[in-house]
Structure 1
């Protein structure tokens, strides 16, 4: 089978153009815009008040994460209400991310709510190295230094002698005093008897990570748990009725079918615009990563849990491979657990600062802060520090090398597809998103090249048994934790991204990044069959190639003419994500025009969520235009005016625009006037500096207005909605 990972990718090298070491010590100048690598901050007791959120937004937070793993729904709703007030006060866009509890395993402990409504555990207990500790599913057991009751009722059937259990405070690094490692010695009934491998202080919310010594067991771990807990379902329904949620993060994503299941659930709630970020947290996700990356709108590398399930010597390669594959697909990729020490210190360690910079050089889109802002002492300083490190790394990022690397990988992929089409039957030309190439071999070395990796089966929404939950809902009661949801798919379905026909006969795919190759394969096979039947054959052109060509052409043009800004007119976000994929060194201003859409009972204004969703794309600065903004030229003038006020573009700067003209996607080059207040076409006036676009390699035919045309290709693969009159507040 032909897989997305069929092309073996080489690691990107970090070429630093600056060879004067002493110049590195020069003070960093102020940056006129918040672009480049994005910061996602977790909202909690340390930063949930309005003034604290205002400070985070002013420091550079692009997205606020609400973690459903811990805390009542009412507390999270209060935090979101405070965030809305902070957004109005700062007039800055900020996305909202709901992170689910999912298949997370926890130790059941009693707790109380503090005066702010946040759960708080009373007291702690010590576990000494060599002590016997029993992990039990007994719901009547009380947590102590010798007994740890777990929320997963089937846990005793999951573990084997010799397995390793990690039990630690939620969002800890795994290397501090509240981290406990246990070795399983025996399993007796519903009790798992273990021996402590180190001294630890058990405090706060305790989570459990199981690392099996058996390769097959790693693929079936927690397989009978549904992908959403009842607490998740209740919280998502409650919160989304009052607040706009831009992203939902799927915890412990196992395969593409999990993403598909969550997509179906959100669609039933009327949340079609909400994007899904898949969290890669264990080896099962690595085995099935191609399917996950294809189905999801973005990927979060949850390095805390992943680092516990993958050998330490493999983690660097795993991170680089996952980031590289996301870059190749044009999907936003976020990393976690970067400056853990800043939860208690105002300055990161040398290793942490280097880690952040290396992630930026690898190509990550953003950094997710957890405990540092949830319960840390310096949330605003942490955001400002991490963003400063990212900006310094961006200054030496090899933009040209990244562009050439993506181009080379695309050419190799095209050649591989061509060879396959010549030598393989139609039935074999099916992209198997579950195959993960050589990525699966990185984390264990057990699966030989070409060997079929194990994958899970059954519905992600129906694999489940019932336990009880230690999390309060809005009323303070305790809803069930892992309960099967209605409407699940039949057990035994292949764990792949659904490529079967859906509504309209098209598969359900993400609106971010590159389209799956299988779509163009289907068109090619239909063209071939039509020719065999003697029917008229339409010229075959790949929509993927057109979209990629326009995006890469815009970036190449901007680089060749040293443009100050790229402007992208966005309808679904695909074009903006593809331009961001090629990592131009100049900002990408994404212009989103809200539009009215009618539902069964009401009209609603859509487009605001897309502007916020662009906030997790590297280098993208979204701009929300007013409804009924006028013609393309009028919107362009408004966009460059706003860019000038923010310092994104200056007098005589060239601006590359990607827009839709008469159902064709075009690349247009304009130049700012002598005072930097408006833009001119190259044919408008001799006052504007001229650019000889004919000398730029790889461009399509130029129109008289300075546009590069891509005939028959619509912006973002969907028509731009009609303009509507401006609405009164």
Structure 2
């Protein structure tokens, strides 16, 4: 057997996972009628894709009308990237998002992406709130073989001879022979605004790193990112700026997730949780961004300690051979699925930053991410500064839906059971409930699964087993009180379900404790959305007294 396939299977990964059902589908489509179904335009489906979409907002996607378009196209999570822009700038965007949510009556989770130990080259003044307007009119032209110096003196004007960086520690961890990548913020790979450098000399006393250009490039924009191959772990994951943003922006604004940039260890995740707890944000989810080899070396601990993983393929692809990226994706997604943690894939339709249609390779890439087990797809430049933001979301959702139709649910279900076993060889009560509900839904042909929950955890466990129908997470608000006041909690738990495949969160009426009445509300909503019809079967997970129950009910209006 091929060594690569053996290695994947040894790690618990089916290299051919999902392909058997695809083969069956294609075989069934060999007839004229089957081929016609493939080549004709996709029909509208009763519900949108189960796979979620995260959109990076700002610049061209921060007004209420643009955010309304993104919500209606299928945005589930809005990502605020603090690699650029002030807290005031992002606050204005957040206010517009909430106005768009009120206008559309649609729920959207929020995610703060930390700056982390990112090193940048500033081609314009550091206040990049007006991103496009402040960009230099003429690009900086670099030619192959030319010498260029990275300097930590930020007062030095950017030119073809000098590039000022915003981190003085650069001179302390680079060495002659290191590879350095300098590219436009959220570079797509399809533009010429990035350059690969080789370090020739480090002059720490004067703050210079002298390099040779390995390719021609035209550097443009406001902010360029700098990445030194395999040296990212030399800097702390959570800097003072990130801690201040978490304390002064994320917690007061009730942000749902922190995307921890350049996370490489469980200790970094715990440091972020401690920072959140100190600021009063204990319920905020921490998503580890895997973008360095150091994170892969500690991947089991990173997955176990976090609430999910973002596989940042753009940065990771600069740290490892290109031919190994797909293996990394399969491995990381498998580990996230087995642990019941959200798995997010980035950099899928980069060309839609400038064009209304993805390439064939990009469309296939999105589908393969779904077949590999991704919970969500993250869009960066496509929605931040792209000309076709809403179109990108629509295209990704359509591709995801087609991939979900041939996803091998049975194989995935069977693959998830062994890792869920405890040492005694049995499932925990929560795992048993979740897996039993998915099995019952599959056997009865249920239209959906309804989970009564307070924290959203049970719904996320159901999602882990990848049922082929929506999972309605009905969050029951809970009262929290201290000596001064009491408040209802549950909104964040509902929104956080928007990151998991198939989960449709609803917040129950806190004044209604009648489970049957709440179920009728869910049925009415599902009927309106075209998910259920009269007499459809629905699987319900709920607690009756101290007993957890999985039951099948018929839809009655």
Partner of 2:407 in structure 1? 397
**1:8 Cα deviation after fit:** 4.1
Partner of 1:42 in structure 2? 56
Q: Secondary structure at the match of 1:120?
A: coil
**1:222 Cα deviation after fit:** 4.6
1:111-126 equivalences in 2 (<5 Å): 111=125, 120-123=134-137, 124-126=139-141
**1:604 Cα deviation after fit:** 2.2
Report which of the two structures shows the higher radius of gyration computed on alpha carbons: 1
Two-structure CA RMSD over aligned residues (Å): 2.1
Bigger drift between 141-150 and 251-260 goes to: 141-150
How far, CA to CA, are the matches of 2:540 and 2:546 in structure 1? 16
Bigger drift between 167-176 and 74-83 goes to: 167-176
Partner of 1:101 in structure 2? 115
Q: Does 1:672 align with 2:520?
A: no
How far, CA to CA, are the matches of 1:13 and 1:28 in structure 2? 21
**1:154 Cα deviation after fit:** 2.2
CA contact (8 A) 2:18 2:406 kept: no
CA contact (8 A) 2:188 2:381 kept: no
**1:173 Cα deviation after fit:** 2.7
How far, CA to CA, are the matches of 1:612 and 1:162 in structure 2? 47
Larger helix proportion of the pair: 2
**1:35 Cα deviation after fit:** 4.5
The 3 A distance-change label for structure 1 pair 152 and 114 is closer
Bigger drift between 150-159 and 579-588 goes to: 150-159
Q: Does 1:282 align with 2:292?
A: yes
Please list every run of 5 or more consecutive structure 2 residues that lacks an aligned counterpart in the other structure: 1-8
The 3 A distance-change label for structure 1 pair 631 and 599 is same
Q: Does 1:558 align with 2:441?
A: yes
The 3 A distance-change label for structure 1 pair 68 and 183 is same
The 3 A distance-change label for structure 1 pair 139 and 27 is closer
- The Cα offsets for residues 644-685 of structure 1, whole Å up to 9 and x where unpaired, read as 222221112111001111122210111124xxx1xxxxxxxx
How far, CA to CA, are the matches of 1:8 and 1:385 in structure 2? 32
Partner of 1:61 in structure 2? 75
Q: Does 1:653 align with 2:540?
A: no
Q: Does 1:370 align with 2:374?
A: no
1:495-574 equivalences in 2 (<5 Å): 545-574=428-457
How far, CA to CA, are the matches of 2:460 and 2:363 in structure 1? 27
Q: Does 1:129 align with 2:144?
A: yes
How far, CA to CA, are the matches of 1:197 and 1:117 in structure 2? 28
How far, CA to CA, are the matches of 1:370 and 1:206 in structure 2? 15
Partner of 2:394 in structure 1? 384
1:139-154 equivalences in 2 (<5 Å): 139-154=154-169
Bigger drift between 616-625 and 113-122 goes to: 113-122
Partner of 2:227 in structure 1? 209
1:329-728 equivalences in 2 (<5 Å): 329-410=339-420, 417=423, 545-599=428-482, 601-673=484-556, 677=557
- TM-score w.r.t. the length of structure 1 is 0.71
How far, CA to CA, are the matches of 1:115 and 1:81 in structure 2? 16
Partner of 2:13 in structure 1? 9
- TM-score w.r.t. the length of structure 2 is 0.92
The 3 A distance-change label for structure 1 pair 203 and 612 is same
The 3 A distance-change label for structure 1 pair 601 and 180 is farther
**1:158 Cα deviation after fit:** 1.1
How far, CA to CA, are the matches of 2:133 and 2:473 in structure 1? 40
**1:139 Cα deviation after fit:** 4.1
Please list every run of 5 or more consecutive structure 1 residues that lacks an aligned counterpart in the other structure: 213-217, 419-540, 678-729
Q: Does 1:71 align with 2:75?
A: no
Partner of 2:174 in structure 1? 159
**1:7 Cα deviation after fit:** 5.4
Give 1:191's match in structure 2, choosing from 208, 215, 219.
208
How far, CA to CA, are the matches of 2:14 and 2:44 in structure 1? 35
